[in-house]
């Protein structure tokens, strides 16, 4: 897999070296055991896989090259390039402007753009409708397109399903940029609908089986289905794809459930005529990060810190996994660790910031799981680790410890 030119201020001297060391030891990624960094007063436990993925590094490289190669030109980000405030803030500090927010709400008018401007498409991709608007202005939406190749893989698979007369069921969050983009690209060639979780998939299954009336489909899913969706015929042949940042295990569980629904309705012998196998649409990076996080659940730790943007879907799912076993705090950077007694963190289900006291246990040594989402620079983990270490007595020099560990 190719390497990318990433700005040096995103490169880590500590966590980055640990990741490179593990990669050299295990190039085929068969060992999911975590890495333990013993700093005396505190031990940090790192997942085997975390941080920037292929798609994110590709997006960062394209964006910073656009800045470097186009001095004096106006450069716009269609929306947040990735869901990390540190990266987006750095880009806007260099003169970039956002056209939309993450939900597609306009922050400026399209009329303010001209054919001479540069518009960068985010890693999540964008809708065909937005591409058409840019083309009408005279801007080529593909010239600075950072859409993740694994998102495009989902689009291509959806197109194949449409060609074979399948309806595409998208597992995702309807307001998320990637899901909106996938829905738009899918809808040009196939009926499509969105389910957000297993509960909605089960409800859809009951409609397919006739346990709920067809009219219930439009009440429940009409806003998140293609125009003219006919539940009486469009649910006869289906395939499931996903927003790549969702829990891969949940996507597979939804697909497995709907397959069993179709078997109940149509029989096992003819199942391929009614249900398409789409396992190949699951993102490798999301899988790797989630599998490595599941391995962390076996660790003996006092708490977990998960670092990432609060609107990052893949990061929220890491929090969801870890909080099953540990007190888990979702933070965007080291500034959220206000003291050894107080931490500010994000309650993702409630979408609000909370402050917790007595978050750090008194026992020593302390063991902390430290990981991050796919859009989080490793340097942020360095800073979080150093922030915690500065609050404890008897800590060892992390540079020396990392050096002795990696040789």
Active site amino acids: 178
Q: Please say whether the beta carbons of 242 and 250 come within 8 A.
A: no
Angle, CA 371 vertex, CA 368 and CA 373 arms, to 5°:
155
Find the largest Cα–Cα distance for the chain: 68
Size of the chain in residues: 407
Phi-psi region at 212: left, alpha or beta (left = phi > 0; alpha = psi -120 to 50):
beta
CB atoms < 10 A from the CB of 270, how many?
11
Rounded to whole angstroms, how far apart are CA atoms 129 and 175?
16
HSE-up (13 A, CA, CB side) for residue 268 = 0
Q: Please say whether the beta carbons of 7 and 64 come within 8 A.
A: yes
Look at residue 238 and give its three-state secondary structure.
Answer: strand
User: Which residue in 84, 45, 150, 118 sits closest to 333, CA to CA?
Assistant: 84
List the structure tokens of 16.
């980055």
Q: Please say whether the beta carbons of 235 and 272 come within 8 A.
A: no
Q: What share of the chain is helix, strand, coil (3-state, %, to 5)?
A: 40, 15, 40
CA Rg, the chain, in Å? Answer: 23
DSSP conformation class of 362: S
Sign of the Cα torsion 227, 154, 159, 76 reads positive
DSSP secondary structure string for all residues of 283-338: -HHHHHHHHHHHHHTTS--SEEEEES-TT-HHHHHHHHHHTTTS-EEEESSGGGB-
């Amino acid at each position: 897999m190719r390497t990318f030119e990433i700005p040096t201020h995103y490169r880590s001297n500590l966590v980055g070296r640990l990741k490179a060391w593990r990669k050299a030891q295990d190039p085929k990624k068969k060992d999911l055991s975590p890495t333990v960094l013993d700093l005396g007063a505190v031990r940090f436990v790192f997942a085997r896989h975390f941080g920037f993925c292929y798609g994110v590094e590709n997006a960062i490289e394209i964006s910073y090259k656009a800045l470097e190669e186009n001095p004096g030109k106006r450069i716009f980000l269609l929306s947040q390039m990735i869901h990390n405030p540190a990266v987006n803030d750095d880009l806007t500090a260099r003169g970039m402007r956002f056209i939309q927010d993450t939900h597609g709400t306009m922050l400026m008018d399209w009329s303010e753009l001209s054919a001479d401007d540069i518009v960068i498409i985010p890693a999540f991709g964008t809708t065909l409708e937005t591409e058409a608007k840019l083309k009408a202005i005279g801007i080529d939406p593909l010239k600075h397109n950072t859409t993740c190749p694994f998102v495009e893989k989902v689009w291509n698979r959806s197109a194949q399903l449409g060609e074979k007369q399948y309806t595409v069921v998208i597992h995702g969050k309807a307001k998320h940029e990637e899901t909106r983009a996938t829905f738009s690209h899918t809808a040009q060639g196939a009926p499509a609908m969105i389910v957000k979780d297993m509960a909605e998939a089960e409800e859809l299954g009951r409609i397919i089986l006739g346990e709920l009336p067809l009219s219930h489909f439009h009440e429940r899913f009409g806003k998140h289905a293609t125009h003219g969706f006919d539940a009486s015929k469009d649910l006869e042949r289906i395939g499931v794809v996903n927003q790549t940042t969702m829990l891969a295990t949940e996507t597979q569980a939804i697909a497995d459930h709907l397959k069993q629904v179709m078997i109940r309705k149509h029989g096992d012998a003819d199942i391929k005529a009614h249900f398409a196998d789409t396992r190949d649409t699951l993102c490798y990076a999301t899988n790797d990060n989630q599998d490595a996080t599941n391995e962390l659940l076996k660790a003996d730790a006092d708490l977990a810190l998960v670092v990432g943007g609060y609107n990052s879907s893949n990061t929220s799912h890491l929090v969801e996994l870890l909080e099953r076993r540990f007190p888990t705090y979702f933070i965007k950077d080291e500034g959220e660790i206000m003291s050894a007694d107080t931490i500010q963190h994000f309650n993702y289900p409630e979408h609000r910031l909370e402050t917790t006291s007595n978050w750090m246990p008194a026992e020593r040594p302390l063991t902390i799981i430290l990981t991050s989402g796919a859009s989080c620079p490793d340097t942020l983990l360095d800073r979080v680790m150093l922030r915690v270490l500065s609050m404890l007595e008897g800590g060892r020099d992390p540079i020396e410890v990392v050096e002795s560990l990696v040789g």
